[in-house]
Structure 1
Amino acid sequence: MENRMRKTIYPKPQDWRQCQLYAPLLLAFSVACPVQADNNTRYEIAPQSLDQALVEFSSESGLQIMADGAMTSGVKSSGVIGNFSTTQALQQLLAGTGLEVQSTQNGTVTLQPAARLITVAATQSEGETLPKVTVQADAEVEADPYDPTNTNHPYNKSYSVSNSTTSTKTDTPIMETPASIQVIPKSVLHDQQAFRLEDVIKNVSGVQTQHSFGGDYETFVMRGFLQSTANYRNGIRNPAIKYDLANVERVEVLKGTSAMLYGFGDAGGFISTVTKQPSSTPYYSIEQRFGSYDFFRTEVSATGPLSKENGLNYRMDLSYLDNNSFRNTDRDRIFFAPTLSWEVTPDTKLTLSYEHFDENNSYDNGTPAIEMGGRGTGNAQLAPIPRNRTFMDPDLTNTNTTDLADFRIDHRFNDNIKLNAGSVYSHNKKHWESVYLSRVDDITPGSATFGNVNRNFWFGPEELNSWTSFINGTFDFETYGVKHKVLLGGEYYNNDFGYDVAFGKIDTVNIFKDQVPDITQAQLNQYRTKALDYSPRTETTSQAIYLQDQMTFFDKLHLLGGFRYDWVERSQDFSSFYDADPTTDEGIDSRSDDYVSPRVALLYEATDWLSVFGSFSESFGPAFDYDVGPADMPGLFPATQFEGGLKAQALDGKMTANLAYYDLERTQFYNFGGIGDPAEPLKGHSNGVELDVQGQVYDGLSLIGTYTYTNTEILEDVASPANVGKRLPYAPIHQGSLWLKYDFNYGPLKGFSLGGGVYTSGERFGDNANSFVDDSYARLDLMAGYKRKLNDMTLSTQVNINNVNDAENYILRRTRGNLPAEPLTVMGSIKLEY
């Protein structure tokens, strides 16, 4: 009996934008539009799913491809890069997939799966051309836009990602990675109109936003611990800790200790933004966003070949931001990021990128906490004042400029040996003109001066330089039936930081009164010319080597082991807060340390859809606090973590889940919290459960959801022994989120999308003494969008309403200032892609 066959067509990319989702189909493979077999063409098709690789091959070769969906579903292609004939390129594209294309004398094309042969009749072409195959079919289906292996494609809608490099520094399937790694792709960023890192991180379990310095630094609390060095870019430490998302492809979050690969850092984990790369397929887009509080943001992207014959591609991403706030502050920013990539040979690629970030913003100290029952009672609370009340001068502006250059080389010696190396340099310069509050002076209810607080100024420049160089070699081999992927690498890192500031009292204001006096021009002139009060300098230099082996037994059991050896040199130079001559050295301290960071992890693939993992790792953190004054420098403070959990996937990887239990202990040098100055050395403990689920539930419906249980405790507090046994600040016991989006892919509503999400958090303490708390809250966000093709272009419109229920919560920092989260806000956008 003749089988009727459904077929998947691999069209040119502009047609792929309208792709629909179907279950795996039994269909035929055909090649049309004859091309001379000996006419070499340059191909740049990256490793990805076989389905999408065939889409790109169709575009670059001019051939129409149809493939058996049952055989190609879930199969990954190693890609093809270089100058090849069409036949050679197709053969390389199919290498290792279990499929092959053969031309016989009678023009027959044969697909040869591992288990059997499927022969499809074809018509003979003239000359040395690939044969044309004809197939009897009853339907046409385009490639899948929800493919989790191809999230780099500009039109991909997947909420799940199949592979990550952050946890192992090798391209490893997440289902084979024995660690908690969450990846938020750009489709989520687009649907939620994210433009800040905090907008992305709300979709990850166990992470809380914790701004510092008036919101000028993006810092976070992860697994209960404050992260001061948690921001990375493409896996490289980025101490500037301020981002624009215009060139971000995805955001990867690695939970827990990670010193084995990344050296000194924070115990709770880190966040790495992965940037967009040049493509040989032209793509252009422009988007305009507008919204509440005079929000205005423009994004422009362009990529394509500069010289396809020579393998030279470019990318340019830029953005402009201008917005005010419900708190009478404003911010404007210009960001642009050009990137060039050059395929020197089929095995060697050079990439050069640059980023420029220039922002002006108002410093916002937030809302203070006060001890309502009198000083020392511990009965503190966030001041009961309107959340839009500020104590700043809106005419004062901080400037923040960052320039970053990144050079990388990737070379493939053969299928088993690969090398990548590079250097990243960044320079960040700020100039502070800020007003902040000191501790509330009169805290006696009923007093005539109840709520009085000193308002102070902080003026002066700040500068940071950072340099990282690295080299990694990856070696794949097999011994006695055991597969090895060995990573051998080295890293050099240098960071020097300093600032020169003048500070002092401006006046006394009352936090319960609406009117705050303006700062006069005479006062500004005085502050800008005042002699410096404080000029600290710090420098950190580290050199490291590391070795990691990912071993696979019986194709199911994955054992990871490795270590890193770091040499760390640190120095700090303080001038006194109160020294009239800031050039007088108050104290210069320096020390050298070395540290060995081990890691061992095990993962077992119980089934195709379920993995079980466990791990042990350590880390060590730097011990700087620029406010503690001169003293003998302490050593590097360690952290240890045990972690275990489950990973699951369904629907060919379109739906993924990660469930983890962890136990983490860290000795840390300081913690911003408490009524008064930063605390002395303390030891903290955190354990808990984290659940992350993301992907496509069924056709058109995507979700990303989290739940977190975090149990924290202060084990030791030298300065305040009474804090022992209390919870670490900022981290709630319970936290969760759920975002759903539905795409109408058929019928009269085709092109429309609807979405919404709820973000919840239990109460969080604001200091080590647990003296004040931000209450629990639940926030509702909504979105609606519409997308339509206009010839070769795609037009998208979208509106997002955040905090629909106007929930009140605060981004806690310390008693002096806690930033109120935004009330109900509306953001609209219109986007054109080609």
Structure 2
Amino acid sequence: MLSLAVATYAQQTPAQNDEEIVRLSPFSVSESADIGRYQAAEASSGTRVRMNLMDSTQSISVVTSEFMQDIGTARLTDAIKYVAGLSNQGGFPLLMDVMNVRGFSDYDLTLDGFAQFSLANQDPIIVERIEFVKGPNAILAPQGLPGGVVNNISKKPLFTNKGYLSYQVGRYDSNRAELDANYVVNDKLAVRVVGAFTDADDYGQRVFHQNTTAMPMFTYRLSPTTEFTLQFQVQKADILAAGRAPLSLYAVGRNNIHLSEGLPRDFQHVGRNITAHQKSHNTRFQLSAQITDKLSMRVAGNWVESDVRSNFLGSSAPYLGQTGVVVDPIQLNPITGEWYWDGTFNDNPTYKLGGLKEWPVRMRGNFQNDFVYEHTAANWKSQTVAGYAFNYISQHFRQTNYADDGIYYDFANNYTPPAYAFDPDIDWHFNSSDRHRGNQVYIYEVINLFDDRLVLSGSLSQNRYASNVYNNQTGVRIDSRAEATLPSAGFVYKMTPGVSVFYGYSKQEVLVGGDPGLGIPAHTRPGRQHEGGLRLRLFDGRLYATATYFDILQENLWRDNPENNRVPIPFPLKPAVNTSVSSKGVEFELAWAPNENFSLIGSYTNFKFRDDENMRGPNVAEETAAMWASYTFTQGALSGLRVGLGANYVGERAGDAEGRWTSPPAGYDPVRVQPVFWMPSYIVAEASASYRFNKNWQAQLSIHNLLDKDYITGSELRRVFVSTPINPKLTLRYEF
């Protein structure tokens, strides 16, 4: 829904003659800058080929580099809050870019259609635009989230000479330099280098991050209809991420939702020795060719390796002074599952610290080969897309625990972060080697009938998965295999060229290893979605709006049998039970550019993300809204000035949605343990102003959390993350 202004490979250099004009590949997206600064007409993530958004039977939203630049994007999660159905998960702000997609938490990074793990946030310098495919998509991500896929489209070489240098300073998360340089060697070869270096202090005592990212690349035209692109991306990150500070001892329900009494707002119980380190490199290639006037082909591959050392530290339940006695005023009613304050006080709380160190080494390889056949007749046309893919993951994962030294820390009085020591009795708490493989074959068909008034589409994806997990400590090996045939189908009916209704059905399925201890076999978790809505594209494309209803169901989620929580515990234990989770609701998106000066985007989401016991998911806001508007002055004394203003609303979220059951007294049934507390809703504003002095120089001031709001971004285990205060950043940019 949001804008897209991506440069195409089809731009003609002065050396080209009319016979050498490069045809736009069906795997590339064309420019659409004439319909507004924040709008898109096409996307490629839904089916791996270019598609008009008005023809899609699945909701697809787009955020482009212009929008990310205007709001001063430092992290990819800065931009997603303006997209319906997307929200920040609220956890560590410097790690993993974790997002909620229609309620489902996305911990993987997807880049150019390839899913991969990255502990450090992806630097926005390499991203041209972000495409959000809502709901299951068996072509792009057959083992992805039921909520959808966040596909980051990387920058590619352009056949035009251009680039920029920039430097940023600010209060937090600043001190950053960027380079983006593109050079046309000749009419067949273009090279591009993008990179960024950040050495920033972040909000919170001792919190910082250093990140170096570089991506050299080239595109070579073997012929006017054949191109080969190669990218090599490297990243080195050192991070002391903000930790979760203890919540008030008296926080329960919707009362006393603030940090523990006596703690400063920027409190952190981590020191510079509790850091995370990541080194990674990623090689990607793509070959696209127009074989005939109707037949095209794409071959793409990806190989990524990452080496991570990460440390995490957290506080225990509150103790009373140095007595070693837990005094927690918040108690659980075992009959109702509700929490309550028992009326007692702990005026001198102390905490023990625990944590772990992880060392994952991951390798992932992907290969994709797609073919597109396009046919056009008098009043109808068709497009057939077929292909196959191979995916491989190798992982060695080790984890050891922080030593429990029996020291009780009083955080409010001269607290000093302790040295990080490991348990001397355990070499590795967990040590495993994993191998995962997946094969996919698919076909997708779309037919435009009656002069493009009716669009019918459907696909079939056949997938085979194999997984091998070896426990290096016990010698136990678990092999899992699964197969899934995943269909999708839908239609779009255009009442007028600018007004259409659509419906789509889609599926995906995730392979999950078993747990013999709980009697859970290796299995798959199928997810399906029904989705329908209305789309508008009016006033020569300058107004684009969508209204969507979606219904997602993920099944086959195993968990412990609640009967095992009775007193006395049954023997033998009851087998695990099968459960499900659903996400249902409505989304609205709007993009409007009435003229070349003014651009506006907005979104609203209201849905229910619940399990089969009607329990809400933790850190999931079931209501969100956002709006951003910008105005560019092109005449008079203010010519060259662009100003922007936006706001984001995030609804109430469950703090700790417990998945366990109570152990009630005899005569009562076990019930679900309810959330201990609820994080309040909030509205946060931001603004920007940029001024272009001439064709080369530009300055931009971005202010995040414009009104200096104090709010909670996320939580885990009665520990919370707090917001960054008002944060101005000034960027000076030189374009060449």
TM-score (norm 1): 0.75
* Equivalent residue in structure 2 for 1:442, among 320, 323, 327: 327
Distance 1:629 1:537, change over 3 A: farther
For the pair 1:663 / 2:535, whether they are aligned, the reply is no
Cα deviation, residue 195, structure 1:
2.1
- 1:635 maps to what in 2? 523
- 1:493 maps to what in 2? 391
- Report the Cα distance in structure 2 between the residues aligned to 1:314 and 1:157, rounded to whole angstroms: 29
- Report the Cα distance in structure 2 between the residues aligned to 1:544 and 1:464, rounded to whole angstroms: 22
- 1:754 maps to what in 2? 643
Asked if 1 retains the 8 angstrom alpha-carbon contact of 2:656 and 2:718, the reply is no
- 1:459 maps to what in 2? 357
Q: What secondary structure is seen at the aligned counterpart in 2 of 1:327?
A: coil
What amino acid sits opposite 1:775 in the alignment?
Answer: P
- Report the Cα distance in structure 1 between the residues aligned to 2:433 and 2:519, rounded to whole angstroms: 14
What amino acid sits opposite 1:787 in the alignment?
Answer: R
What amino acid sits opposite 2:433 in the alignment?
Answer: R
Q: Give per-residue Cα distances to partners, 1:631-671, cap 9 Å, x unaligned.
A: 65431111111100111123322332221111111136489
Asked if 2 retains the 8 angstrom alpha-carbon contact of 1:180 and 1:254, the reply is yes
For the pair 1:804 / 2:693, whether they are aligned, the reply is no
- Report the Cα distance in structure 2 between the residues aligned to 1:284 and 1:373, rounded to whole angstroms: 52
* Equivalent residue in structure 1 for 2:225, among 333, 338, 347: 347
Distance 1:794 1:480, change over 3 A: closer
For the pair 1:698 / 2:603, whether they are aligned, the reply is no
Cα deviation, residue 381, structure 1:
5.2
* Equivalent residue in structure 1 for 2:510, among 609, 621, 625: 621
Asked if 1 retains the 8 angstrom alpha-carbon contact of 2:597 and 2:633, the reply is yes
Q: Give per-residue Cα distances to partners, 1:426-476, cap 9 Å, x unaligned.
A: 111111233233454531375557643321242342111111011000011
Distance 1:478 1:150, change over 3 A: closer
- 2:477 maps to what in 1? 588
Cα deviation, residue 510, structure 1:
4.9
- 1:517 maps to what in 2? 416
Asked if 2 retains the 8 angstrom alpha-carbon contact of 1:640 and 1:665, the reply is yes
What amino acid sits opposite 1:209 in the alignment?
Answer: N
Q: Give per-residue Cα distances to partners, 1:173-226, cap 9 Å, x unaligned.
A: 111112111100100011011021111111111112125568422221111222
| Structure 2: segments with no counterpart, 5+ residues | 1-6, 319-325, 330-342, 560-575, 658-673
Asked if 2 retains the 8 angstrom alpha-carbon contact of 1:278 and 1:340, the reply is yes
* Aligned pairs (5 A) from 1:169-208: 169-208=48-87
- Report the Cα distance in structure 2 between the residues aligned to 1:425 and 1:180, rounded to whole angstroms: 29
* Aligned pairs (5 A) from 1:160-175: 160-175=39-54
Asked if 2 retains the 8 angstrom alpha-carbon contact of 1:211 and 1:218, the reply is no
Distance 1:632 1:450, change over 3 A: farther
Q: What secondary structure is seen at the aligned counterpart in 2 of 1:307?
A: coil
Asked if 1 retains the 8 angstrom alpha-carbon contact of 2:366 and 2:389, the reply is yes
Distance 1:294 1:279, change over 3 A: closer
- 1:276 maps to what in 2? 155
Cα deviation, residue 304, structure 1:
1.7
For the pair 1:604 / 2:493, whether they are aligned, the reply is yes
- Report the Cα distance in structure 1 between the residues aligned to 2:496 and 2:30, rounded to whole angstroms: 20
* Aligned pairs (5 A) from 1:364-443: 364-369=242-247, 372=250, 383-384=259-260, 385-440=263-318, 441-443=326-328
Cα deviation, residue 551, structure 1:
0.8
- 1:781 maps to what in 2? 686
Cα deviation, residue 682, structure 1:
4.1
Distance 1:812 1:275, change over 3 A: same
Matched pairs, number: 669
- Report the Cα distance in structure 2 between the residues aligned to 1:390 and 1:353, rounded to whole angstroms: 39
Asked if 1 retains the 8 angstrom alpha-carbon contact of 2:315 and 2:351, the reply is yes
Distance 1:437 1:215, change over 3 A: farther
Asked if 1 retains the 8 angstrom alpha-carbon contact of 2:278 and 2:309, the reply is yes
Larger Rg: 1
TM-score (norm 2): 0.84
- Report the Cα distance in structure 2 between the residues aligned to 1:273 and 1:171, rounded to whole angstroms: 15
Q: What secondary structure is seen at the aligned counterpart in 2 of 1:190?
A: helix
- 1:815 maps to what in 2? 717
Distance 1:824 1:683, change over 3 A: same
Distance 1:429 1:157, change over 3 A: farther
Asked if 2 retains the 8 angstrom alpha-carbon contact of 1:625 and 1:670, the reply is no
Cα deviation, residue 766, structure 1:
2.2
- Report the Cα distance in structure 2 between the residues aligned to 1:451 and 1:305, rounded to whole angstroms: 65
Distance 1:680 1:251, change over 3 A: farther
For the pair 1:709 / 2:606, whether they are aligned, the reply is yes
For the pair 1:335 / 2:289, whether they are aligned, the reply is no
Asked if 1 retains the 8 angstrom alpha-carbon contact of 2:289 and 2:298, the reply is yes
> 1 or 2 for the larger relative contact order (CA 8 Å, sep ≥6)?
2
What RMSD in Å do the two structures reach over aligned CA positions? Answer: 3.1
* Aligned pairs (5 A) from 1:235-250: 235-240=113-118, 242-250=121-129
Q: What secondary structure is seen at the aligned counterpart in 1 of 2:68?
A: helix
Q: What secondary structure is seen at the aligned counterpart in 1 of 2:710?
A: coil
Q: What secondary structure is seen at the aligned counterpart in 1 of 2:614?
A: coil
Cα deviation, residue 394, structure 1:
2.8
What amino acid sits opposite 1:249 in the alignment?
Answer: E
Cα deviation, residue 629, structure 1:
7.7
- 2:184 maps to what in 1? 305
* Equivalent residue in structure 1 for 2:535, among 644, 647, 656: 647
Cα deviation, residue 622, structure 1:
3.7
Asked if 2 retains the 8 angstrom alpha-carbon contact of 1:367 and 1:382, the reply is no
Q: Give per-residue Cα distances to partners, 1:143-185, cap 9 Å, x unaligned.
A: xxxxx952699xx972101110111221111111121111001
- Report the Cα distance in structure 2 between the residues aligned to 1:616 and 1:439, rounded to whole angstroms: 46
| Structure 1: segments with no counterpart, 5+ residues | 1-43, 48-55, 62-82, 95-147, 576-582, 672-678, 716-723
- Report the Cα distance in structure 2 between the residues aligned to 1:745 and 1:567, rounded to whole angstroms: 56
- 1:565 maps to what in 2? 462
Q: What secondary structure is seen at the aligned counterpart in 2 of 1:313?
A: strand
- 2:667 maps to what in 1? none
Asked if 2 retains the 8 angstrom alpha-carbon contact of 1:261 and 1:546, the reply is no
